[in-house]
């Protein structure tokens, strides 16, 4: 587990499988008591690290794609409100 706020952060588990559950990419692992558990694959190191996060190295608060999406959403809102100089 690699998510910094997950209670099992730093623990290693044997991967049972990786599949889509509830619409997201998840991994299945066996807990200490033998029960099968799932967690979002983003909370693990199963996938390669996001290139943006590697390059930003914690220096950027927002991704460019997210900021562009915000600009588009604000433009749409301004059009609905009738603000021409927003």
* pLDDT tens per residue across all 86 residues of the chain: 777 777 777 888 888 999 988 889 998 998 889 899 888 888 888 877 777 777 777 787 788 888 999 999 999 999 999 865 55
pLDDT at position 13 is 84
Do residues 47 and 41 touch, judged by C-beta distance below 8 A? yes
Q: What is the pTM of this model?
A: 0.49
Cα dihedral 32, 33, 37, 39, rounded to 10, equals -30
pLDDT for the residue numbered 46: 82
Task: Give the separation between CA 42 and CA 12, rounded to whole angstroms.
Answer: 15
pLDDT value at residue 36: 92
């Amino acid at each position: 587990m690699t998510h910094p706020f997950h209670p099992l952060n730093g623990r290693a588990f044997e991967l049972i499988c990786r599949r889509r559950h509830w619409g997201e990419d998840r991994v299945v692992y066996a807990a200490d008591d033998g029960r099968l558990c799932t967690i979002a694959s983003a909370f693990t190191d199963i996938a390669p690290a996001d290139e943006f996060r590697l390059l930003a190295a914690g220096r950027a608060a927002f991704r460019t794609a997210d900021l562009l999406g915000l600009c588009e959403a604000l433009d749409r809102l301004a059009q609905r409100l009738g603000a021409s100089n927003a």
